Amino acid sequence: MPIAIPAGTTVDIKDGVITVKGKLGELSQKFYDHVILEVEGAEIQVKPNEAVAEAGSKHGLYRALIANMVKGVSEGFETVQEFVGVGYKAEAKGQILEMALGFSHNIFMEMPEEIKIETINERGKNPILKMRSHDKQLLGQVAAKIRSMREPEPYKGKGIKFEGEVLRRKAGKSAGK
């Protein structure tokens, strides 16, 4: 399945490295001889190299990575996380995220410059953290790191969860006889 290249996006393939430039940034990815990349008009063709034994398994991986690169530099990606719990807070100060997660101290996390952060704190609602970037891999890695600081627990659902995530809840203790 070919990957469409949107207007304003350029693709350059040189020495085993594909570079995609767009309005939101630039991304590069090294690829090996498992796949053959061809730019035909406004499409990128990713074909398996039949001479390599692992070509079939790597073909889908490289196609997905390149498709994410093209989408990232043209449209970008966004993740939304919700802080559920009494006293849980998130506040963005430039590229530094300050979180109060029920520990004896606040947690400060410096964000990479590729990620833009925004926090929404409304009275009576859970704090929300929105992160935007053109790099899907980096965005997912940072979001997973933030979530790992206080994963949602199964009884009350307290913790950091992704928007729309359905948690598996447990019943808890039942009353005595």
pLDDT at 88: 92
Can you give the pTM of this predicted structure? 0.86
Mean pLDDT across the stretch 46-57?
83
Confidence of residue 31 (pLDDT cuts 50, 70, 90): confident
C-alpha to C-alpha distances, 2 to 60, 66, 124, 136, 165, nearest whole angstrom: 12, 11, 47, 20, 31
Q: What is the pLDDT of residues 52-93, one digit of tens each?
A: 887 888 888 889 999 999 999 999 999 999 999 898 999 999
Q: What is the pLDDT of residues 115-151, one digit of tens each?
A: 999 999 998 899 999 999 999 999 999 999 999 999 9
pLDDT at 177: 62
Q: What is the pLDDT of residues 15-30, one digit of tens each?
A: 889 999 999 989 999 9
**SS3 state of residue 158:** coil
Confidence of residue 174 (pLDDT cuts 50, 70, 90): confident
Choose between 32 and 80: higher pLDDT: 80
- For 21-48, b/e burial (b = at least 16 CB within 10 A) is ebebeebeeebeebbebeeeeeebebeb
pLDDT at 16: 86
pLDDT at 176: 63
As a whole number, the mean pLDDT across the chain is 90
Question: What residues form DSSP beta bridges with 120?
Answer: 128
Q: Residues of the chain with pLDDT > 70: what percent? A: 98
